[in-house]
Chains A and B, each alone.
Chain A
């Protein structure tokens, strides 16, 4: 059984089909990128997978349970227990320190544990910045806090929406390295991005266009940061 399965999922706003009959599967421990240009339906898919929205039609099976029929309260519980979210804008609570931001996720999930939160910050290389406020951290550091917060409750899936969209190259590399580390530890990663360099390091890249699954690129040589031919081909298409 796949960890996540979308079956004929539609999201329709009036005349607009933001998602149009999308079906996909994500296996446990897999690293999948979702790519596509603006308006291709990436964010809609991210919201549906992240239990922040429901499809107009179709099924979304997470761990075998159809979450498309769940109410708002149940979806909150699914988000809390099974999904770790990473955002492009970081979205840290500005008056809480880095470690308190990590503990916030623990607080809603089970029980806050400062020691464990500090260890999570240590994993993302921010042990010495644990007691700084977000305003005292660089963009890259804030995103690493966001990663620590996403992984603190050992979620089934880490869902990242444009995680490097607001980062410079050096910080982008740090975050991608963190993803490698998490993947090696067995975490399932779904990364929504429009940056081919970020997408191409995943095991598999799903390309969306006009709400449909346009292409699926499998990284045959997945070992870490290897660029592959299919992705280069995709880039050429994109730049045309």
Chain B
């Protein structure tokens, strides 16, 4: 039998045949590794989780006209630059002055699905428009004209060519739309009415152009800036801008949150080290007699340190593996309860957690093992 085989046989025998003792140490290591792995998982997943949360606050990128004519096709070229999984939604907007009950009102033509995706904070009393021939009215508009969901609304538009003529009413275009809901945003949108782009084009008799496109992109500040640069460089018809108010506050909140999680992780790591060191000190101390015996029958200090360290590191490795699994479960529970969404498994964390666990256990054991090797075998063997 080779020495290495005997070494492994001794270590595994110690771990397997002293199960109750080792279980206490393993529990301490596994709990430490679990909290560590869980917190690091959360630390890395916070930007993604918070990014998704931040998308509830509306668009963070705007596309405008750069060459005098902004079309839907220009918008699509711009959005094509952004990876599909990062693009939460894109909504084109065309604004026109229309008349409702002879009062001037701003009407927006848009893609309702896109608007809903980019502005999830909009609250609609009733239903969102699901087809052409329908209209959403802002809360202030609804209040002014006592409008309710389910009613029909006639919207008038005076084409620019008719505005110079004396008799406007003759030349007005009108369209009858069904009110599906009343829009409550707490912002200027409450003064507008929203219809499909196709209905607005029918009403105005002009098609093909839009004024602005709002984009909601799930990305950090650097990624957003890079998308903006790439759109501006590759799509000359479009000028992309960041909504600084949104992106800057996102960055600030994110960095503060990540700093907080990092701080907690460091504190937990320190506490784990203390806990593991205390446990390993107890484990080694109760084996002073065994160390004395090994010295008496000819073991060198180096050999004893090697054996005990190997045992600790194997324990650290097992604790690390447990920590990876339990840490993921822990992070998943935190994520579901705090962010209401599941977490991504970080494969890189597997070797990191196991290595950190082995290192922490090894380092924590080194000191008590070194002091145990100073034991005088004669005293220990006499039972003193």
Contacts and interface: CB of A to CB of B under 8 A. Distances in A.
Contacts of A129: none
B348 interface: no
Interface in B347-384: 376-378, 381-383
Chain A CB within 10 Å, residue with most, of B2, B294, B303, B378: B378
Chain A CB within 10 Å, residue with most, of B14, B294, B381: B381
Contacts of B299: 76, 80, 108
Interface string B1-41: 11101110110011001100000000000000000000000
Contacts of B303: 108
Given A73-B300, A149-B297, A89 B17 contact: no
A107 B300 contact: no
A22 interface: no
Interface residues of B, number: 30
Nearest to B383: A89
Given A43-B382, A47-B378, A95-B18, A112 B298 contact: no
A76 B364 CA distance: 27
Contacts of A111: 1-3
A93 interface: yes
Contacts of A53: 378
B259 to A, nearest CB: 47
Contacts of B383: 89
A100 B9 contact: yes
Contacts of B294: 93, 104, 108
Contacts of A133: 17
B290 interface: yes
23 contacts: A47-B378, A50-B296, A50-B378, A52-B376, A52-B381, A53-B378, A73-B300, A77-B298, A79-B296, A80-B297, A80-B298, A85-B296, A85-B297, A93-B294, A96-B10, A104-B297, A108-B297, A108-B303, A111-B1, A111-B2, A112-B1, A133-B17, A149-B297
A197 interface: no
A101 B104 CA distance: 99
Interface string B303-346: 10000000000000000000000000000000000000000000
A147 interface: no
Given A91-B289, A100-B9, A113-B1, 6 more contacts: A79-B298, A81-B298, A95-B13, A108-B298, A111-B2, A133-B17
Contacts of A100: 9-10, 13
A interface, size bucket: 20 to 34
Contacts of B3: 107, 111-112
Contacts, number: 75
A104 B291 CA distance: 12
A87 B6 contact: no
Interface in A70-125: 73, 76-77, 79-81, 85, 87, 89, 91, 93-96, 100, 103-105, 107-109, 111-114
B295 interface: yes
A40 B298 CA distance: 27
A93 B377 CA distance: 14
Contact of B14 (A76, A95, A105): A95
A186 to B, nearest CB: 22
A235 B2 CA distance: 51
B293 interface: yes
Contacts of B298: 76-77, 79-81, 105, 108-109
